[in-house]
Amino acid sequence: MKNKDTWEFAHKYCGRIWYVCGWILLPISVVPMLFVIGHSADSVGTLGGTICAVQLMPLIGSIFPTEWALRKNFDENGNRR
């Protein structure tokens, strides 16, 4: 959040990562849920919670490549290299 340019760059960069992760995670999320159709609410809840935890990992992990891209494209004062 050094300035508007770094803020917009980080959001655009991270947004692209999340978009790709979303398409990768979509089948990983939907397919297992198909197997618990008609099961108890506890089974569905447990699997849903597990899927949410798995989805959270790449989304949190996107922080690291975004920070690396910021360092590569901006100096310590937020000016483009």
Domain ranges of the chain: 4-73
Q: What angle separates helix 41-61 from helix 63-73, to the nearest 10 degrees? A: 20
pLDDT in tens, the chain (81 residues): 789 999 999 999 999 999 999 999 999 999 999 999 999 999 999 999 999 999 999 999 999 999 999 999 999 988 998
Burial track 32-42 (b if 16+ CB lie within 10 A, e otherwise): eeeeeeeeeee
d(CA 66, CA 27): 25
User: Do 69 and 14 form a contact (C-beta atoms < 8 A)?
Assistant: no
d(CA 71, CA 12): 15
